[in-house]
Structure 1
Amino acid sequence: MANTYFDNAATSYPKPPAVASYISRYINEIGGTYGRGAYRRIIESSSALETVRELLAKILGTGNAENVLFTQNATHAINTVLFGLNLHDCHVLISPLEHNAVMRPLHEISQRNNVTYEVLSHGPDGLIEVDKISRQIRTDTKLLIVNHQSNVNGLIQPVKEIKASAGSIPVLLDLAQSVGHSTISLDTWGIDFAAFTGHKGLLGPTGTGGVYIRQASAVNTFIFGGTGSRSESFEMPFGVPDKFEAGTPNIAGIYGLWGALENPPDHGHEFSDFIDFIREVDKIKNITLFRSKDISRQGELFSIKHHKYDSGYLADLLYSKFGIEIRSGLHCAPLAHKTLGSFPTGTVRFSVSPYHTIDDFTFLLKALETVSIL
């Protein structure tokens, strides 16, 4: 039976079996909180969180695990940085494929604090024109924000080159769609801030994620509260992770993420199989494919538009006739759709996971060929 779930850019499914078993073990056998005591349950749960922190640091390509901080999701992580930087009367550069996880907090800050933002020069598929970045940097430019992999067309930006062109301007990287799929090298790239989630490419549960902050002193505390440390003071601790991890963390969720990281599934396909598949999609009549122009910069998701049907109807058609589960519309990324020319109707998006096989791609291809001529 075909795996017809192609909405992994929203959240991954299925999860590795270890996700549920690790959560169950925590709830049924451990149950301790994090860093709030010295008995066995707390020691075990605290050790687990630090183990996951180390695993995430390796995935992110940083040797500074203490600078990897737990959040609810990538949106929470982005807000932690944007509001923690205390931006006032300045200029921010953004990539052309940003998600509302960036655009909404940035818009709010622009309204509150007289901050202007400008889209980086780019090609028709949203690829940033690296050689033009220096021309857009102003004396009051304080931040550059880059969506590493688009959640609409799957384009992967050249982060290393972008950071090099940005010079001393700090870079915030949104890794929501790329972590777990692409190689991440934060230290090598020289990235200052990075936001990620645990429930997409990492195959963990919802409610997990994190933020990487290279220098804790650069970002003010966003959420205040108990940390289990320096409890005699009303001031937040200055050091990491406590400065950014107020309140009880989602320990059960982090255990589930641990299960996913320690027990990744075997891949049902090679990346080349996916590329072969989207090349075939590109041949289908009456369908426009949205992907990276440079196939070497393509992540494992793409979008389409039907020349006759709107995106919502097409998604309903694919589900009712073939059971294919997908996301249609603007994908919380109106800026990306404006960049790609698919605003305001949006697209139908397909995103894969390690569980998909060549047979699944063949099933989807035949379904798309069928609806293309209806």
Structure 2
Amino acid sequence: MASREDRGRSLLPSFIYSSSSSSKLFGLDAVAARTSRGTASGLSSAPTTKTTSERLVIPAPREKIDPAKYKSVRSGFGVLLKEQGIKGFFRGWVPTLIGYSAQGACKYGFYEFFKKYYSDIVGPEYAAKYKTLIYLAGSASAEVIADVALCPMEAVKVRVQTQPGFARGLSDGLPKFVKSEGVAGLYKGLVPLWGRQIPYTMMKFATFENIVELMYKHAIPTPKDQCSSTLQLGVSFTGGYVAGVFCAIVSHPADNLVSFLNNAKGATARDAVKQLGLWGLFTRGLPLRIVMIGTLTGVQWVIYDSFKVFVGLPTTGGAAPAPAASAPAKH
């Protein structure tokens, strides 16, 4: 009989947990165990009508992230490379690409819509006076919609990346996820995702807009409309990178929470705080995320503004337009 320690291990080969292999490997032991229990209780040891495979399915253990195993970003890279090879670094890239592409399209597109919409509501004078509030409201509204597009792909991505053996990628991971938790399970992380992404996006757009305005006002002597496209895109990347650093810090606790909830079935936010610790929730993986999000955000703004330049639109940000002067009163 396996010891209690052996039964608690989650690193056994995946073939052990299939019904066919379980029958072959453990069939004799299981039959003997059933016979012993039946004899002890005075029951007949005659076989039932169920097949061996139906009686001997062993549930796969729930994978958990071991904090002691991944002590730092540097050691984490080493562990991942040793256990999964180079391809482990690219696991889950398809749902990541699809999910964040859909999210980005909704985020940037709806941001422009809501920014103009709220500016038109309050009028040009208040839009210029309270421009940062316009940025915050417009980006928050856009992110609510964008996360609905992202959430299913994010759920599959996290499960594929954090549970080796669950699936190879999107094509087999999505059906497995839906089969085990239903379609609603794809959106169980939506509220935590909003908690992560809405503050992230509000910080991202408001910080970017203000940094770019300050750069054109104080760091670049030439007015924006006289700057070359290359210089404007350089400003976009710089402003985006700095904004990304702030975004990473603000959204990191919720990012850890989303990953935990998508990885541990039935877990709650309290479970996450208990296992990761409050300090770990805010700091675990933060340096790597700052570098990643800063670069990613800078590149996103370059791509977005490059598209705007291509279609003949000005790049994002710059000096705020002066409010229209009111006409003098007639006497």
Q: Report the TM-score, using the length of structure 1 for normalisation.
A: 0.23
User: Which of the pair has the greater relative contact order for Cα pairs under 8 Å at 6+ separation?
Assistant: 1
Task: Give the structure with the larger strand fraction.
Answer: 1
Q: Report the TM-score, using the length of structure 2 for normalisation.
A: 0.25
Task: Give the structure with the larger helix fraction.
Answer: 2
